[in-house]
Amino acid sequence: MTHERYEDSHLYRLRHSAAHLMAQAITEMYPGARLAIGPPIENGFYYDIDFPEPVSENELKGIENRMRELAKLNQPIERKVAASRDEAKRVIMEECTLGQGEAVAHYKLELLDMVPEGEEISFYDQQATDKKGELRRFIDLCRGPHIESTGEIKHFKLMSLAGAYWRGDVKQKQLTRIYGTAFETKEDLELYLHNLEEAKKRDHRKLGRELGLFMFSERVGQGLPLWLPKGAALRDALCDFLKEEQTRRGYEGVVTPNIANAKLYEKSGHLLTYRDKMFPFMEDEEKETFVLKPMNCPFHIEIYSSSLRSYRDLPVRLAEFGTVYRYEQSGELAGMLRVRGFTQDDAHLFVRPDQLLAEFKGVVDLMMAVLKKLGLNEYRVRVGTKEPSSDKYVGHDENWQLAESAIKQACDELGLEYEVSPGDAAFYGPKLDLIIKDALGREWQMGTVQVDYNLPERFDLEYIGEDSKPHRPIMIHRAPFGSLERMIGLLTEQYAGAFPFWLAPVQVAILPIADRHVEYAKHVAEQLQGFPSQVVAEDEQVAFATETVDSPGLRVSIDGSRQTLGKKIREAQRAKVPFMMIVGDNDAEAGTVGVRDREEGDLGAMSLTEFVARIRPML
Amino acid sequence: MTHERYEDSHLYRLRHSAAHLMAQAITEMYPGARLAIGPPIENGFYYDIDFPEPVSENELKGIENRMRELAKLNQPIERKVAASRDEAKRVIMEECTLGQGEAVAHYKLELLDMVPEGEEISFYDQQATDKKGELRRFIDLCRGPHIESTGEIKHFKLMSLAGAYWRGDVKQKQLTRIYGTAFETKEDLELYLHNLEEAKKRDHRKLGRELGLFMFSERVGQGLPLWLPKGAALRDALCDFLKEEQTRRGYEGVVTPNIANAKLYEKSGHLLTYRDKMFPFMEDEEKETFVLKPMNCPFHIEIYSSSLRSYRDLPVRLAEFGTVYRYEQSGELAGMLRVRGFTQDDAHLFVRPDQLLAEFKGVVDLMMAVLKKLGLNEYRVRVGTKEPSSDKYVGHDENWQLAESAIKQACDELGLEYEVSPGDAAFYGPKLDLIIKDALGREWQMGTVQVDYNLPERFDLEYIGEDSKPHRPIMIHRAPFGSLERMIGLLTEQYAGAFPFWLAPVQVAILPIADRHVEYAKHVAEQLQGFPSQVVAEDEQVAFATETVDSPGLRVSIDGSRQTLGKKIREAQRAKVPFMMIVGDNDAEAGTVGVRDREEGDLGAMSLTEFVARIRPML
């Protein structure tokens, strides 16, 4: 399967031209403004400009209006090639600056110097005469390509201002970067803007705080999340689900320390290849050095090699929710998506070569089961293979071929479409990545499966074959979620905090209408969660009908506060609880509950038996 | 309740006299041997001796025989007080050395110098004439007290040899320490020796290896256990049990990082009071310092103080299986009982003063429920209070009194006997410790509950009271297991690896008699564990009767190897699996299993329904 690359698309050219159109408007409106560079980017374009006076976000509307006026002139965009470097210099100084000369041409002249000798020097020129008969023109040093005419630029918006250093160098002057976006249709633009708004609302950092999922603390440190009770409940639900899937598939759990003597990572080679991502070392006076673990693999290898393995013992599948620490730069930290401490849903499979296909297939099948359970139904599969020309890879060619064909065959047999990405393999073996598309169309790199011939070699791993001789196993590294932190960040945004029923931290919020209904609410809670509630009632209580159900073991809350029912409902809505149960006099007497579904609204009164029958399939 | 202190007991004096008896035998047998000190200790006594020639373990039997001969002489033991220091010196040089003089008196003369001026200088003298008419005499510089006569020393044994520096100082001469033990009755001695043998068999380090529970790795580092699959299953079973108990009791789970910025522990005061137990710090170039967490409390405090708490929100009970690291000296590490990385079953309760009694009681009640489930029915409760004369404690006296009386009242209301141990409080508040007596009569310090007024003060914790004003909560720290490592070490020894059914890593081992019964074994396994087994059969399989049961979700193994049934049974016995199920032709045809109980032996053939009914109450 091949897709048109974004860089080759009409949309890419449209955005590039929109950047020029913005530059034309600015050149007209801000004499003396010096243009730097203005490329298309993912989701839009920008232009870096050195303004004579600072500009503010308020001025973007005016620039946008001027762009609309210029677009309506439908200026044809023409490519022109300079006959010589001197000619190009003249065009920049005179035509590009509309006669303002060298001072305004500053950055473009530097860019001209960067064009390699012998390369064609091209300009894009757009001009038209307006209603008043004035010539409006913009010509820019540019490789292109562009669209035919500015009339095509109809659906665009300037988004924001930011600072940007010339040539990305903090020692150079800081310029003003104006971001904009453009689309081919009004619908596309509106969807994009809507999704942007939606993404802000869904921002997992914001929702994480509002829903009480997790927090960061300055005293604990950047990138080190603390999971609050509701977030911990989410984690548990995810782990319990995966643990059960793994047990069914013959995985065995292990638990290993968060630190090790540096010797372990010296042996694994990580001290050489991974040191810059590791936390500062812990060195004691007697020169013993401990390191915080950035990866679980060497620990699982120590466990594999702690006993003699026979060919009949393989595959050995060791799984751990292993908390690792990586010293990401503080500027790169981003909520739960990039943190310094996180828990991988890690496992390592030690397999015989003849088991590689079946085990890889088993792993991919597990990942598909995970995606389905999580409701992540849009994804693509990328197979990372060797860059044929590079020599950064270790291991024998025949092993690489064996592994690559096992990966492809596994996908084929599971009916999975995949794209092959040469050069995306790890240095020690090929891999498969899952890239999820979320509800807003954004892509997220998720779980990964990697084949590894390197670590078994480094640690001299063995099993005794049917021939009674030692053989080398192959390792498979895999993490379907990637990490709990990243997955919960993603799911929070995917569901805007309204997690599926099986995953929701609180599944049912019971709202007694008045304090006198608290005892009945407690009876309901006990039936649903399987144990008595700790809430204390203060007033005299109404009598109630009791119904006993086989408890589905739900996570249940009772709002025993003295607030109005309206307020209680609004709080449960804000907490995005899947079901509310409103209980009052009639319910207590009849032994029913008034059920309100987060999506479907009021479902009316029902018995607990009816409710439990309704939710069982959702668990 | 008061117990007689060991130091005041007859047994203590008996052992002290046994040390003298051993010294007498040695003095007779090894002329030139120089005696140093010989006190009674827990479980026995020793004497440090500077022998003219090295002695070996083989010689202990001879010394023991000589002791028996001397004991039979029934020498009365007499206390004598020296009239002066000079007189004492003379007794040491002449009588104690049996005339060998200053060279042999060396250490005793040093000891004499250590007796403070003005203090009584006493000797214990034992003598009798033997059958041959020879006087046998031993007199030793000693504070005593002793028993009446050596005839009482009947049940004793010399145990081992070790090196020991004079006055415990490595710069002094290394002496030979001979350990022995003595009891008042033959039964006591035999029980002690039996228990010692039993303790060796039960050593959790040995069993941990044999049963595949955990391992240590030189590359990972000392005191950093790796949990193997069966040990991880044990951990999970313990955690699941406690989690459920805690959820029922209104605890909420949280998850916090294993590291923090040093600022956190500066604020908590641990950098001052606990630094020598902390791992070396991680310092980066920009002077940010991270520390490995030795305690979870400051993290839970950050969570408590992350939102405004009202008096109605309290108590807040935050629980975490929190993995902490403490830099124990390598000489102090001992299997799982003292490690450098371990997981506490930690929780912190933030309570109002008026809730302290009820919450403390709740915690103690939980601990009792834990002990009961674990089958640890012998224990004592120690309440650690302030040392009245010391000034090392922080906080107001009225708070201390409030807390101490809450602890005592909680015990009284729960009908728990306890001993008060002044000076055993933490510096920040009183506490309650549980001390378990195991199956061999050994005591283990286990879970603890502590009341803390200090950290709420340091972190300025608050809740808004009914009066709308800020108030200070009290914290309770508690860990019923203490740590998973220590608890599993203890349970391994308590049960000699034969864990109770609910806890056993493998609960049922299914043993197909031949390969043709593997499919039937898989049917049985699926019924018991609730999902299909991954074992692969190779031969043609027998037809079998199927029976469907409501799966109890057991941990089940199938021995699909080609070994004889006898070998399979021995392996399951060695693994101390609670139930074996032997399945052959008759079982497959009838849909039964041949059940063998670890304790009760063969239970005969039964249906799965019968088996499940039998084990349900044990879960």
**Locus of tokens 């590359």:** B219
Distance between CA atoms of B517 and B519, rounded to whole angstroms? 6
Q: Which CATH number is associated with domain A230-260+292-494?
A: 3.30.930.10
- Residues B603 and B595 sit within 8 Å (Cβ to Cβ): yes
Residue B612 forms contact with A (CB below 8 Å): no
Residue B341 forms contact with A (CB below 8 Å): yes
Kindly determine whether residue B229 and residue A302, on different chains, have CB atoms separated by under 8 Å: no
SS3 A450: strand
Indicate the residue type of A519. E
Considering only the beta carbons, identify the residue of A220, A228, A252 that sits closest to B229.
A252
In sequence order, the β-bridge partners of residue B346 are: B320
Backbone angles phi, psi at A173, to 5 degrees: -70, 145
Instruction: State pLDDT tens for residues A198-246.
Output: 888 899 999 999 999 999 999 999 999 999 999 999 999 999 999 999 9
Q: What are the residues whose beta carbons fall under 8 Å from the beta carbon of B299, sequence distance 6 or more?
A: A220, A226, B254, B256, B257, B260, B264, B293, B320, B322
A-chain CB neighbours of B220 within 8 Å are 256-257, 260-261, 264, 299, 302
pLDDT of residue B1: 40
Distance between CA atoms of A403 and A417, rounded to whole angstroms? 18
Can B6-200 and B508-618 be said to share one CATH topology?
no
Instruction: Give the chain A residue nearest B530 (alpha carbons).
Output: A248
Instruction: Give the chain A residue nearest B298 (alpha carbons).
Output: A220
Strands of the sheet containing B77-81, edge to edge, are: B77-81, B122-129, B135-141
Distance of CA A236 to the CA centre of its chain: 21
Instruction: State pLDDT tens for residues B258-306.
Output: 999 999 999 999 998 899 999 999 998 777 899 999 999 999 999 999 9
Distance between CA atoms of B472 and B350, rounded to whole angstroms? 10
Q: Spell out, as residue ranges, where chain A has pLDDT lower than 70.
A: 1-3
Considering only the beta carbons, identify the residue of B215, B306, B323 that sits closest to A306.
B215
Distance between CA atoms of B478 and B450, rounded to whole angstroms? 6
Backbone angles phi, psi at B198, to 5 degrees: -60, -40
* CATH class belonging to B508-618: alpha beta
- Residues B473 and B319 sit within 8 Å (Cβ to Cβ): no
Q: One of B346, B433, B452, B559 is an active-site residue; which one?
A: B346
Distance between CA atoms of A456 and A448, rounded to whole angstroms? 19
Q: Comparing C-alpha atoms, which of A521, A498, A495, A491 is closest to residue A579?
A: A498
- Residues A71 and A151 sit within 8 Å (Cβ to Cβ): yes
Residue A148's CB is within 10 A of a number of other CB atoms, namely 12
Handedness of CA A599, A602, A604, A606 (dihedral sign): positive
Q: What are the residues whose beta carbons fall under 8 Å from the beta carbon of A462, sequence distance 6 or more?
A: A305, A309, A470, A471, A472, A473
The stretch B176-198 carries a mean pLDDT of: 95
B-chain CB neighbours of A284 within 8 Å are 279-280, 327
Q: What are the residues whose beta carbons fall under 8 Å from the beta carbon of B570, sequence distance 6 or more?
A: none
Q: What is the DSSP string of B181-217?
A: EEESSHHHHHHHHHHHHHHHHH-HHHHHHHTT-EE--
The stretch B252-259 carries a mean pLDDT of: 98
**Locus of tokens 């010296």:** A266
Residue A79 forms contact with B (CB below 8 Å): no
Q: Comparing C-alpha atoms, which of B140, B23, B13 is closest to residue B70?
A: B23
Distance between CA atoms of B210 and B46, rounded to whole angstroms? 34
Tell me which of 3.50.50.60, 3.30.160.20, 3.30.980.10, 3.90.10.10 is the CATH number of domain A6-200: 3.30.980.10
Kindly determine whether residue A254 and residue B263, on different chains, have CB atoms separated by under 8 Å: no
The stretch B12-18 carries a mean pLDDT of: 97
pLDDT of residue A603: 96
Which positions 541-570 of B are in contact with A (Cβ < 8 Å)?
Answer: 561
Which positions 283-312 of A are in contact with B (Cβ < 8 Å)?
Answer: 283-284, 288, 290, 292, 298-299, 302-303, 306-307, 312
Length reported for chain A: 619
Instruction: Give the chain A residue nearest B561 (alpha carbons).
Output: A312
Distance between CA atoms of B81 and B58, rounded to whole angstroms? 37
| pLDDT at residue B365 greater than cutoff 50 | yes
Q: What is the DSSP string of A52-80?
A: SS---GGGHHHHHHHHHHHHHTT-BEEEE
Q: Encoding tokens for residue B219?
A: 């590359």
pLDDT of residue B2: 47
| pLDDT at residue B562 greater than cutoff 60 | yes
The stretch B495-509 carries a mean pLDDT of: 97
Distance of CA A82 to the CA centre of its chain: 45
B-chain CB neighbours of A253 within 8 Å are 229, 232-233, 236
Kindly determine whether residue B325 and residue A231, on different chains, have CB atoms separated by under 8 Å: no
Distance between CA atoms of A548 and A526, rounded to whole angstroms? 9
pLDDT of residue B298: 97
pLDDT of residue A439: 82
pLDDT of residue A103: 85
Distance between CA atoms of B269 and B454, rounded to whole angstroms? 10
Indicate the residue type of B442. R
Distance between CA atoms of A284 and A289, rounded to whole angstroms? 6
B-chain CB neighbours of A522 within 8 Å are none
Percent of chain B whose pLDDT exceeds 70 = 100
Alpha helices by DSSP H, A530-578: 565-574
- Residues A259 and A299 sit within 8 Å (Cβ to Cβ): no
Q: Encoding tokens for residue B343?
A: 């997981």
Kindly determine whether residue A281 and residue B281, on different chains, have CB atoms separated by under 8 Å: no
**Locus of tokens 């005419």:** A149
Distance between CA atoms of B160 and B157, rounded to whole angstroms? 10
Q: Encoding tokens for residue A155?
A: 């659906």
Kindly determine whether residue A221 and residue B290, on different chains, have CB atoms separated by under 8 Å: yes
- Residues B122 and B80 sit within 8 Å (Cβ to Cβ): yes
Kindly determine whether residue B248 and residue A280, on different chains, have CB atoms separated by under 8 Å: no
Give Cα separations from B420 to A360, B1, B7, B380, B433 (angstroms): 61, 9, 18, 11, 10
Distance between CA atoms of A574 and A211, rounded to whole angstroms? 8
Q: Terminal CA-to-CA distance of chain B, rounded, Å?
A: 37
pLDDT of residue A505: 97
| pLDDT at residue B314 greater than cutoff 70 | yes
Q: One of B24, B75, B126, B344 is an active-site residue; which one?
A: B344
Residue B589's CB is within 10 A of a number of other CB atoms, namely 13
Which positions 491-550 of A are in contact with B (Cβ < 8 Å)?
Answer: 531-532, 534
Nearest Cα of chain A lies from the Cα of B385 at a distance, in angstroms, of 31
Instruction: Give the chain A residue nearest B235 (alpha carbons).
Output: A255
Kindly determine whether residue A257 and residue B302, on different chains, have CB atoms separated by under 8 Å: no
Res. B396 pLDDT band, cuts 50 70 90:
confident
Considering only the beta carbons, identify the residue of B217, B263, B283 that sits closest to A219.
B263
Indicate the residue type of B518. V
**Locus of tokens 């990866």:** A295
pLDDT of residue A223: 96
**Locus of tokens 């903090």:** A170
**Locus of tokens 């009271």:** B465
Distance between CA atoms of A139 and A457, rounded to whole angstroms? 60
Q: What are the residues whose beta carbons fall under 8 Å from the beta carbon of B93, sequence distance 6 or more?
A: B101, B102, B105, B109
Dihedral, A321, A324, A330, A333 alpha carbons, nearest 10:
-20
Distance between CA atoms of A85 and A397, rounded to whole angstroms? 49
Which residue spans within B116-185 are E strands per DSSP?
Answer: 122-129, 135-141, 155-165, 174-183
ipTM of the complex: 0.85
Provide Rg for chain A, Cα atoms: 31
Q: What is the average pLDDT value for chain B, to the nearest integer?
A: 94
Report the helix count and the strand count for chain B, using DSSP H and E: 18, 28
Distance between CA atoms of B152 and A490, rounded to whole angstroms? 78
Q: Encoding tokens for residue B435?
A: 């001390």
B348 is catalytic: yes
pLDDT of residue A2: 46
In sequence order, the β-bridge partners of residue B164 are: B175
Residue B17 forms contact with A (CB below 8 Å): no
B106 is catalytic: no
Q: What are the residues whose beta carbons fall under 8 Å from the beta carbon of B303, sequence distance 6 or more?
A: A215, A226, A228, B254, B256, B318
In sequence order, the β-bridge partners of residue A557 are: A509
pLDDT of residue B3: 58
pLDDT of residue B563: 92
Considering only the beta carbons, identify the residue of A219, A264, A283 that sits closest to B220.
A264
Backbone angles phi, psi at B136, to 5 degrees: -110, 120
Report the helix count and the strand count for chain A, using DSSP H and E: 18, 28
Residue B103 forms contact with A (CB below 8 Å): no
Domain ranges of chain A: 6-200, 230-260+292-494, 508-618
pLDDT of residue A3: 58
Distance between CA atoms of B214 and B226, rounded to whole angstroms? 6
Q: Encoding tokens for residue A44?
A: 């839009």
Q: Comparing C-alpha atoms, which of B23, B22, B135, B14 is closest to residue B73?
A: B135
pLDDT of residue A585: 95
Cis before B315 (ω within 30)? yes
Give Cα separations from B47 to A130, B19, B25, B601 (angstroms): 113, 6, 12, 48
